[in-house]
């Protein structure tokens, strides 16, 4: 699925606005906080669900799948019973960590909690 916007034909190339591409990846109510929770360590499905109060399994699955599609998250399945699945950041996901940190710091520094 292509979620690009702002397609502008430039010769054979398509020029896409960079910040919009980023927007497309982190759009989704839980994406950022999921990445944040994976930034320090690998986590299992249930663990993530516990960390994200009020998220349902279905939604958590969908958000993780989309992050996987966008190569931000890696899903490692251990063939055991009971099943064990571990989520972690890919190199691309890791390269995004500084931005997550900036967001956290910006928020703490500039936003009064309302």
Q: Which does 97 bind (CB under 5 to 8 A by kind): DNA, a copy of itself, none?
A: none
Our CB check for a copy of itself shows the closer of 82 and 113 to be 113
Q: With binding defined as CB under 8 A, does residue 20 bind a copy of itself?
A: yes
Our CB check for a copy of itself shows the closer of 6 and 78 to be 6
Q: Which long-range contacts (CB under 8 A, 24 or more apart) does 73-82 make?
A: 73/34, 73/35, 73/38, 76/42
Residues 6 or more apart from 56 whose CB is under 8 A from it? none
Q: Measured between alpha carbons, how far is 69 from 35 in angstroms, rounded to an integer?
A: 14
Do the bridges between strand 84-89 and strand 8-10 make them parallel or antiparallel, or are there none, so unpaired? unpaired
Q: Which does 106 bind (CB under 5 to 8 A by kind): a copy of itself, DNA, none?
A: a copy of itself
Q: Which does 41 bind (CB under 5 to 8 A by kind): DNA, a copy of itself, none?
A: none
Q: Measured between alpha carbons, how far is 16 from 86 in angstroms, rounded to an integer?
A: 33
* Binding span for DNA by CB under 7 A among 14-22, 33-41, 84-92, 93-101: 84-92
**Minimal distance in Å, beta carbon 45 to DNA?**
4
Q: In the structure encoding, which two tokens stand for residue 75, read together?
A: 């899903």
Residue from 9, 11, 19, 82 binding a copy of itself (CB under 8 A): 19
């Amino acid at each position: 699925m292509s979620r690009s916007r702002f397609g502008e034909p430039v010769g054979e190339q398509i020029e896409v606005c960079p910040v919009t591409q980023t927007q497309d990846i982190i759009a989704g109510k839980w994406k950022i906080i999921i990445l944040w929770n994976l930034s320090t360590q690998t986590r299992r499905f249930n663990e993530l669900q516990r960390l994200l109060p009020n998220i349902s399994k279905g939604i958590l699955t969908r958000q993780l799948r989309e992050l996987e599609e966008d190569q931000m998250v890696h899903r490692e399945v251990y063939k055991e019973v009971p099943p064990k699945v571990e989520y972690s950041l890919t190199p691309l996901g890791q390269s995004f960590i500084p931005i997550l940190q900036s967001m956290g710091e910006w928020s703490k520094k500039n936003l009064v909690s309302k």
